[in-house]
Amino acid sequence: MRVTIQQIQDMKRHGEKIPMLTAYDYPTARILDDAKIPLLLVGDSLGNVVLGYETTVPVTLEDMIHHTKAVARGAKTPHVIGDMPFLTYQTSIPDALRNAGRFMQEAGANSVKLEGGAIMAETVNALVERGIPVMGHLGLTPQSVNQIGLRAQGRTIDAAQKLLEDAVILQDAGAYAVVLEAVPATLAKMITERLSIPTIGIGAGPDCDGQVQVISDMLGLFTDFVPKHVKQYAHLAESMRDAINNYMVDVAEGSFPTLEHSFTFSNGVEEELVQELKKKIR
Ligand code: KIV
């Protein structure tokens, strides 16, 4: 049985911090499952860190369904959240229902995440009323990159007040939790104290109820640019480069494979084959 939204909300009530990571494939989901992470997001950051796009805008519903299915196969206990990609929910409530329904029914997600505040309230409510739990996402909303850029949000009085209002509106609309991305730590703390639902921060300071990171960032899969909010807990790019170089050297030198990695005949076959070949040569 997967972790439920009630269990996630209980963690806030009990003052227990909520760790969340992204995953995009089966092997990573299995490792996260073993680690007993409670929340797993198949983020549309897939576009940036797996598919090589510059932004999340080109990510399609089919991309997301495909990867969510793989994650859902590997994640036995974490709550799996499917991230609704650009223009799969902003266009109309029927579109949002149909597309969120695919995440739940086809892909095996337990809830969906969507970006936006007051403007998305009716959509959030329509999904929740029909049995689809929704996680909100405020602050830096990457699908709006062409409108707002990729900079921190909520840094002026007006913007901070709007963000606080949006958070309350999402909660009232029925969202079970809300991601706060790249907002001042003090504002995130205020929102966290004001809401009864959990806040999950990314670049939003230490006082959110939970934290989310893009797994490729925290494992150090990219070395060219490390965003300010990222702490690298491993340096996988270096480890992978070293492993690949060692493999190429071993192949070039003939030290891989050895007999240990090779197959043998069944008992007696080798001797018989040698005799057969000898007869043919004669
Ligand atoms: O797509 C994603 O990975 C996200 C997280 C950064 C919250 O939305």
Question: Which numbered atom of ligand 1 lies nearest the CA of 43?
Answer: 1
Ligand 1 lined by 214 (C-beta under 6 Å)? yes
Residue nearest to ligand 1 atom 1, measured at CA: 43
- Residue 214 CA, ligand 1 centroid: distance in Å: 7
Q: Which candidate, 203, 105, 222, 190, places its Cα nearest to that of 151?
A: 203
Ligand 1 lined by 199 (C-beta under 6 Å)? no
Question: Which numbered atom of ligand 1 lies nearest the CA of 45?
Answer: 1
Question: Which numbered atom of ligand 1 lies nearest the CA of 212?
Answer: 7
Q: Which candidate, 2, 79, 82, places its Cα nearest to that of 39?
A: 79
Residue nearest to ligand 1 atom 3, measured at CA: 43
Catalytic residue among 115, 122, 165, 181: 181
Amino acid, res. 187: L
- Residue 247 CA, ligand 1 centroid: distance in Å: 34
**Active site (annotated) includes residue 54:** no
pLDDT recorded at residue 158 = 98
Q: What's the distance, CA 255 to chain centroid?
A: 39
Q: Would you list the domain boundaries of the chain?
A: 5-234, 239-281
DSSP assignment of 230-264 equals ---S--HHHHHHHHHHHHHHHHHHT-SS-GGGS--
Q: What's the distance, CA 101 to chain centroid?
A: 19
Amino acid, res. 204: A
Ligand 1 lined by 217 (C-beta under 6 Å)? no
pLDDT recorded at residue 12 = 98
pLDDT recorded at residue 281 = 82
Ligand 1 lined by 44 (C-beta under 6 Å)? yes
Q: Which residue among 86, 137, 229 has the greatest number of ligand 1 atoms within 8 angstroms of its CB, and so is best to mutate?
A: 137
What is the full per-residue pLDDT of the chain (282 aa) written as tens digits?
999 999 999 999 999 999 999 999 999 999 999 999 999 999 999 999 999 999 999 999 999 999 999 999 999 999 999 999 999 999 999 999 999 999 999 999 999 999 999 999 999 999 999 999 999 999 999 999 999 999 999 999 999 999 999 999 999 999 999 999 999 999 999 999 999 999 999 999 999 999 999 999 999 999 988 999 999 999 999 999 999 999 999 999 999 999 999 999 999 999 999 999 999 887
Q: Which tokens go with 51?
A: 């598919």
pLDDT recorded at residue 280 = 87
Homologous superfamily of 5-234 in CATH?
A: Phosphoenolpyruvate-binding domains (3.20.20.60)
Question: Which numbered atom of ligand 1 lies nearest the CA of 213?
Answer: 6
